[in-house]
Amino acid sequence: MLVVDDNALLRKVLSDIIAASEEFRVVATAGNGLEALEQVRACQPDLVTMDISMPVLDGLRAIARIMGESPRPIVVVSARGGRDTAEAIRALELGAVELVEKPGAGGDPAELAPRLLAALRAAAAADPSKVAADLTAAPRADRAGLGSGAARFAVAVAASAGGPRALAEMLPALPGGLDAAALVVQHMPRGFTRSLADRLDGLCALRVVEAEPGVPVRCDTIYVAPGDLHMRVRGAAGSATIELGRDPPLWGVRPSADHLFQSVADVFGAAAVGVVLTGMGRDGAAGLGAIRRAGGATLAQDRATSVVYGMPHAALQAGAAQDVVPLSRMAERSAAEIRRRAGVRV
């Protein structure tokens, strides 16, 4: 694999972590995006770790060039804060499949090892042909007609590796006027989910916010779970509120889709649609089963459009997903299920 960072010390830290794992092998390193392109062409690495802020050619432009010329799984290793955070989200839309936060000032580089290796494993399972093309979103629709009352229906969405790109395709296609809210768990480090919500808010017809504790669940609004906090809903359909918690990770992740989905099943029951998108592991499968048993509709992304088919496949194997849907039709199908539950002919 290729390690790209303009900081020589961090390049060594990353390379040492990778070498010590005995799962991956570093074949080359690069100090900027231009060097990265040269090493990709020369060494043909199976995986790339990519910094964002670099001289000569930054990470965003390097990722766009790599994915345009010779697509391969890329893991972004980025600092949190300022411009880097927003650009890391954009890098995931351009084709990078995972995001790892750099150690902060005074942080212990050893804490990076498990997060980096988990991201590399997910990236190794990714199909780069699913992320080769750039994503061009339609202009955001006028929000003048959006409602603000309490949501009587809910669309709960789970995503992990490849998820930001999938969300940027699905969520802008969700229509307003359904008396529904969407609740999203995307596995992502703390501090990056607000930038994800801001980016999606600029793309979607619905309002998109990072969830806050105690707020009412409103229709025509998409709530993104904050990184490192589990998100649940409490109350009843039509009067539900958001609850955030720091109880232990589930399946090694926090937020966990299983916790969200179980609460959506409890609160919204048959007035819910559960959706599992691309991602590594099995988070969401058990919770999707709870939504199905409560009478809600349950959908899993198909293999052909999934960057990593782990989570959708787990949901299907568990008997939790009623139907398998391509990403391009997921919003349309979710809206149709809400309308059916509202008694509207579809």
The amino acid occupying position 118 is A
For the chain, how many residues are written?
A: 346
Residue the block writes with tokens 């409890």: 266
Q: What token pair was written down for 168? A: 């940027």
- Residues serving a catalytic function are 160, 187, 283
* Adjacent-strand bridge partners of 100: 77
DSSP 160-195: -TTHHHHHHHHGGG--S-SSEEEEEEE---TTTHHH
DSSP 228-267: TSEEEEES-TTS-EEEEE-PPPBTTBSS-HHHHHHHHHHH
Element (H, E) at 98: strand 98-101
Give the torsion sign (CA, 84, 85, 86, 90): positive
- Alpha carbons 336 and 332: distance in angstroms, whole number: 6
